[in-house]
Structure 1
Amino acid sequence: MSSPLFVAIAFFAVATLTVSFARFSGGVAMVWLAGALLAGRLTDVPERRWGPWLVLCGLASVMATGFFGIGWAASVPLAIINIAEAAGAAFIWRRITRAFWPDETLEWLVSFYIGIGLTLPLLSGGSAALVAWLTNGLPPMENFTHWIIGHSLGMIACLPLFRFFFWRMSRGRSFLPSADRWPLAILMFGTFSLLTIAVFLLDMRALLVFPLLFIVVGAAVLEQSIIALLPVLLIAIGGTMTALEFGPIAVMDFEYGDRMQFFELYVAVAVLGALPVSIERQRRMIELRQMRQRIAKLEEQGASAY
């Protein structure tokens, strides 16, 4: 499932979905997740081996834009921009991980937010807005704004999730919780699903804080295989209900596309809140494991001395 062909097919499916249903203003997609999917796979592959993924996903981007997006004239340059953005995100992820992980998690987080969540979407957004204007006469500032919001939030909300998925799959491990953790996982998934449904059936905006708190608190006590699926449930349940115009976000006095981008921001805030907590928990678990190994080694040395 981590092969270039599988990733390209998944990229095409996600890109087709977003450019078909998220071009609310008739320009570029206001929600973009395909770049995070490709970047998530590339983070675990040496740069010299990126070629097959970049080429196949580039072709997938061309077809998605040509058939379902703003047309063939813009498909090739937008594909180059999309693929370059995903490759840049993976490159930054790999570099900051080598430099800062696991001892300097704050520096890692700041680099992730600024480099991947801000700088790359700004650069790609300017290029994409120019392409959309030259090929289709679309208003550059409006499309620039929609692009950077959709791509920035897509990277922040989904890149850690896709990274976790592909990291597990490339090592022959399931991204689902282990068998002994399923009772806890079912309890957590069921509770979170019921909570999210209840929140998005009502029109009280203050209730939106409860799914966020659930994810952030869960990140402090739950293993990654459980916490990583909670934002997926939030997207599946909350995103569907918001798209069907249920819930507190759907009744906001915004355009439909702006409401969907606000929901994307909502998911990104959940990930932003949970990510540092989860990273710190993982760092402490690594330190604890290393400490246990050192204690076991000292005990072995002491036993051999006698």
Structure 2
Amino acid sequence: MRFARFLASPVGVGIVFFALAALTISFARFSGGVAMVWVAGAQLAGRLVAMPEERWGPWLVACGIASMLATGLFGLGWAASIPLAAINIVEASAAALVMRRISIAFWPAETLEWIAGFYIGIGLITPLASGAVATIVAHLTADVPILENFTHWIIGHSLGLITCLPVFRFVYGRWSRGRSCLPSVADRPFAILVLGLFALLTTIVFVLDMRALLVFPLLFVVVGAAVLDESMVAPMPVVLIAIGGALTALDMGPIALMDIAYGDRIQFFQLYVGITVLAGLPVACERSRRMAELRHMREQLARLGLQEPLVH
């Protein structure tokens, strides 16, 4: 857990933020403007969700510096680095605030309201607001087209938050409570089997060129969300991104063969992963609600059993 504590510290989060930002900026600026894929904001938001707002300062500063360096070294240049870093940090903070508010208000009793708040507040309003400001900044500092980059920003940041924020929230939430994000020792053989089957299925789907097969990883995630522990479901989007994204980037699989620009194919893959998460998230939330109700009922029965007088 010592390494986990370092990764959750301001320095560790800043290093991971820089690595994710530099990777996506270097890889996903297909049109020369803003990155069409963005997951660093979800990583920061996932860390912020796990602690009170008054403690956010060191993490915001560390990731602000990381964002500025990534944009200056690999992106639109140093002129845009400071304002874009501020926008990225505000966006991640807003997503974390929305997540904390809807969790306090609705979780776990009212999962439908929680999901609606997640979709609208984090997946729509936050990237729309940040994208409106960011594309103006990018246009003024780097003379990139406003409408095209606004579209790229919204898609990349919205899908990045929807796809990756639940994963980072789970990981940092476990670490903040001093727990491992891995399955229990007794469940690990079964978890390895499940994730191995999912990795094999994803590899087969993205090696072949049959688009209809794309439905099977989605169904696997949905069914898994209904019956598996969160520690087994959370890595599935990561496996899907790692295998499917790598094969798509190498021009393999059903998405890579689409007759559209390379950057659009990558964003279509990101959309596919986002839809997969959107399909599985309500099922996972409902399962969490029912498990919480079951635990509450067991606690109530245990208390009633202790209070019941002995019969002689």
- Give, as a single letter, the amino acid of the residue that structure 2 aligns with 1:39: A
CA distance in structure 1 between the aligned counterparts of 2:50 and 2:62, rounded to whole angstroms: 17
- Give, as a single letter, the amino acid of the residue that structure 2 aligns with 1:154: G
CA distance in structure 2 between the aligned counterparts of 1:2 and 1:204, rounded to whole angstroms: 41
Partner of 2:298: 292
TM-score (structure 2 length as normaliser): 0.97
2:109 aligned residue (103, 110, 134): 103
Partner of 1:146: 152
Between stretches 31-40 and 294-303, larger displacement belongs to 294-303
1:229 aligned residue (219, 230, 235): 235
Q: Is 1:267 equivalent to 2:273 in the alignment?
A: yes
- Give, as a single letter, the amino acid of the residue that structure 2 aligns with 1:133: H
Deviation at 1:305, TM superposition (A): 7.1
Partner of 2:75: 69
User: Can you list the C-alpha shifts for 1:149-204, whole angstroms capped at 9, x where unaligned?
Assistant: 00000000000000001011112211111110012111101111111111011111
CA distance in structure 2 between the aligned counterparts of 1:303 and 1:4, rounded to whole angstroms: 54
CA distance in structure 1 between the aligned counterparts of 2:311 and 2:148, rounded to whole angstroms: 74
CA distance in structure 2 between the aligned counterparts of 1:255 and 1:195, rounded to whole angstroms: 26
- Give the alignment of 1:1-306 within 5 angstroms: 1-304=7-310
User: Can you list the C-alpha shifts for 1:129-152, whole angstroms capped at 9, x where unaligned?
Assistant: 101110011000000000000000
User: Can you list the C-alpha shifts for 1:236-285, whole angstroms capped at 9, x where unaligned?
Assistant: 10000000010000001111111101111111111101111111101101
- Give, as a single letter, the amino acid of the residue that structure 2 aligns with 1:202: L
TM-score (structure 1 length as normaliser): 0.99
User: Can you list the C-alpha shifts for 1:75-108, whole angstroms capped at 9, x where unaligned?
Assistant: 0000000000000000000001111111111011
After superposition, the CA RMSD in angstroms is 0.9
Which consecutive aligned stretches of 4+ in structure 1 deviate over 4 angstroms post-superposition?
A: none
Which residues of structure 2 form unaligned runs of 5+?
1-6
Matched residue of 2:308: which SS? helix
- Give, as a single letter, the amino acid of the residue that structure 2 aligns with 1:226: M
CA distance in structure 2 between the aligned counterparts of 1:120 and 1:112, rounded to whole angstroms: 10
Deviation at 1:303, TM superposition (A): 3.7
- Give, as a single letter, the amino acid of the residue that structure 1 aligns with 2:290: R
- Give, as a single letter, the amino acid of the residue that structure 1 aligns with 2:295: R
CA distance in structure 1 between the aligned counterparts of 2:310 and 2:81, rounded to whole angstroms: 68
CA distance in structure 2 between the aligned counterparts of 1:48 and 1:167, rounded to whole angstroms: 17
State the identity %.
65
Aligned pairs, number: 306
CA distance in structure 1 between the aligned counterparts of 2:79 and 2:103, rounded to whole angstroms: 38
CA distance in structure 2 between the aligned counterparts of 1:255 and 1:298, rounded to whole angstroms: 64
Deviation at 1:54, TM superposition (A): 0.5
Matched residue of 1:15: which SS? helix
Between stretches 175-184 and 28-37, larger displacement belongs to 175-184
CA distance in structure 2 between the aligned counterparts of 1:233 and 1:267, rounded to whole angstroms: 11
Deviation at 1:304, TM superposition (A): 4.8
